[in-house]
Every structure is written in C-alpha cells, then in structure tokens.
C-alpha cells in the first residue's frame, strides 16, 4: 500500500519536473499597462521557462478587425514600424505611443524543442490622450428668472473627458445643495456631458464662467466668459409700447386726413407740373402753395 503511494508520488513529481523543464511558460510584469500619448511604454513578455535556445517570438495586435502582425520574422511591422523595438527576451517596447495603439496585444512564443512548445499572453494597452481645449458656450445675458444652458464639449481626450464648471474661478459643485454659496441656485450639472443648466437664473448666478475637461492624462479649459443676468423692466417696456402705439396712431390719423383732403392725388399733379415749369402754369403753382400750407397745418395738428 505504502509502496504504491510512494510510486504515485514519484510519478507525479517526475512528470511535474519533466514538464517544467521542457515547457515554454510566459509571464508578464504588467497585464494592463497604460501610457500617455507620445510617451514610451513597455509590453512585458517574460519567458519563465524554456529549453529551446532559439524560440520563435511573435507579437500580434488584436483589434475589432482581427489580429495583425506587429512583430514577425524578427522585424517590427505594421504601423508600429520605426516606433517599437524588441527587448530581450520577448518584451515589446513602444518608443512613441499614439492613440491608435490602444488595443490588446498578444505575445506568442514557440519553442520547437520543448514538450509544451507554445505559450501566449495577452496584454491590454491603453494610451491616454490629454483633452484639447473644450468648446464652451455661455449665454451673454439672460433675463432674471429665465432658464439658461451652458455647454462644454471636447472629443479628443481618452478616456472620455469629464467636465467641471467654474464660476469666478471657484468650482461649481455637482449638487448646489452641498455648498452654502450655491445652495439657492437652481442649476443641474452633468459632469459626463458638460452641460450646466439653470432652471431659473438669479441675480447671483451672473459671473465669469469657464469649463475644464479632464481625464487621467490631464486637463484643458476654455477662457472665462461673462454671463449677465438682467431685470426685465416691466414699467419701461409698458412705456415703450405706449410711445410706439401713440406714434403709430398719429401716423395713421395723419394719413387718413391726407387722403380725405385729396393730398395724395394733388401731389401727383404737382409732381407732374414741377417737371414742366417752363410752361408756367400759374394755377397749378397756386395749388402747390396751398399744398405746402396744408402740410404745415397737418403736421402742426399732430
């Protein structure tokens, strides 16, 4: 009984050792590395065990379109050509990462002389891109009590930007109720879309506003723009309307009177007569003078 057990144990140990010696085994120091755009980054592929002296090493980039070669036949190829090198034993070093390098990469090592002759590991690379200056829109002036919407957009950043709004250089909290200063303000702030919406602006909401787009790679912001809140002057508007109505009324009355007195038809005649003054039509001249008098009178009445 004990003998068979020992035998079993020995067999297990030996097979384990055997595979350990004659198997290619890969390891990585970082499965999901990240870097900022235009920096270097190492995709680590370490050979933990191998007996083949000259293994075949390949790297593939795996995107939605399927895998494509990055390193094949001892050469870096594809769009990483001139931007990457292999560092012993099988690590891929990207010297100047771009945003299009964000992908999964597979390190594959084939060791012909090993019993387990193949191993692979997948590395998930993220290249972060700093946001560019966002496009900000702030209404110049908003009537008191009306709604207002401020927007901020930026599309370059990766991962996708989050947005912060600042008023007079002070960050606006996501929820106005959490701040003594903003507690009476009626806004809602969406950090994902960059929209700052006021349901009804107060005098205190006026000020210099700017927005900041940020992600893990950094941030960018737009210059501050002034939003003014003005009172709608009800009395002023009423007065203005009254003046306009009076003026319109006067004009209408004036035109009516002119029609009744045949002003327009006689003007046509005088117009004709002015073109032929050489004929010296005395009667018409008199009429014209009448006309002038009439005009005087009517404007005087108004």
Ligand X SMILES: *[C@@H]1O[C@H](CO)[C@@H](O)[C@H](O)[C@H]1NC(C)=O
* Interface with ligand X (CB under 6 A): 38, 96, 183-184
Comparison of 202 and 296: residue with beta carbon closer to ligand X: 202
Backbone angles phi, psi at 220, to 5 degrees: -145, 150
Comparison of 49 and 96: residue with beta carbon closer to ligand X: 96
The label of the residue with tokens 């723009």 reads 225
- Minimum distance from residue 173 beta carbon to ligand X (Å): 13
Question: Which residues, 6 or more positions from 184, have their beta carbon under 8 angstroms from its beta carbon?
Answer: 176, 202, 204
- Minimum distance from residue 167 beta carbon to ligand X (Å): 13
- Minimum distance from residue 109 beta carbon to ligand X (Å): 29
For every residue of 219-252, which 3-state class applies, written as one string?
A: EEECCCEEEEEECCCHHHHHHHHHHHHHHHHHHH
DSSP for 86-134 reads: EETTTEEEESS--GGG-EEEEEEEE-TTSSB-EEEEEEEEEEEB---PP
Nearest CA-CA partner of 137 in 202, 204, 227: 227
- Minimum distance from residue 215 beta carbon to ligand X (Å): 20
Q: How far apart are CA 60 and CA 67, in angstroms?
A: 6
- Minimum distance from residue 218 beta carbon to ligand X (Å): 17
Comparison of 78 and 89: residue with beta carbon closer to ligand X: 78
For every residue of 71-85, which 3-state class applies, written as one string?
A: EECCEECHHHCCCEE
Q: Which tokens belong to 14?
A: 């030996």
Q: Which tokens belong to 218?
A: 């950094």
- Minimum distance from residue 110 beta carbon to ligand X (Å): 33
- Minimum distance from residue 300 beta carbon to ligand X (Å): 57
Q: How far apart are CA 291 and CA 281, in angstroms?
A: 16
Comparison of 27 and 40: residue with beta carbon closer to ligand X: 40
Q: How far apart are CA 22 and CA 54, in angstroms?
A: 14
Q: Which tokens belong to 301?
A: 């009445």
Comparison of 45 and 80: residue with beta carbon closer to ligand X: 80
- Minimum distance from residue 99 beta carbon to ligand X (Å): 10
The label of the residue with tokens 């009177």 reads 257
Q: How far apart are CA 171 and CA 216, in angstroms?
A: 19
């Amino acid at each position: 009984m004990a003998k068979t057990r020992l035998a079993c144990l020995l067999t297990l140990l030996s097979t384990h050792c055997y595979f350990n010696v004659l198997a290619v085994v890969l390891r990585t120091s970082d499965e999901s590395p990240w870097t900022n755009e235009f920096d270097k980054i190492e995709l680590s592929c370490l050979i933990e065990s191998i007996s083949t002296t000259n293994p075949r090493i390949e790297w593939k980039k795996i995107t939605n379109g399927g895998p494509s070669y990055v390193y094949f036949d001892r050469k870096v190829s594809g769009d990483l050509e001139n931007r990457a090198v292999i560092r012993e034993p099988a690590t891929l070093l990207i010297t100047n990462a771009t945003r299009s390098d964000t992908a999964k990469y597979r390190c594959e090592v084939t060791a012909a002389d090993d019993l387990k002759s193949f191993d692979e590991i997948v590395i998930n690379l993220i290249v972060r891109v700093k946001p560019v200056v966002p496009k900000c829109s702030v209404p110049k002036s908003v009537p008191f009590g009306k709604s207002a919407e401020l927007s901020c957009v930026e599309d370059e950043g990766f991962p996708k930007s989050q947005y912060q709004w600042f008023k007079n250089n002070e960050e606006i909290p996501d929820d106005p109720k959490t701040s003594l200063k903003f507690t009476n303000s009626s806004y809602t702030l969406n950090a994902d879309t960059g929209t700052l919406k006021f349901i009804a602006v107060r005098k205190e909401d006026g000020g210099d506003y700017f927005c900041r787009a940020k992600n893990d790679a950094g941030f960018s912001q737009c210059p501050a723009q002034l939003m003014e809140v003005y009172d709608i002057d009800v009395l002023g508007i009423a007065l203005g309307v009254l003046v306009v109505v009076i003026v319109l009324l006067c004009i209408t009355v004036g035109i009516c009177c002119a029609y009744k007195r045949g002003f327009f038809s006689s003007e046509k005649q005088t117009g004709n007569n002015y073109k032929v003054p050489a004929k010296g039509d005395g009667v018409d001249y008199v009429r014209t003078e009448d006309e002038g008098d009439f005009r005087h009178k009517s404007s005087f009445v108004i």
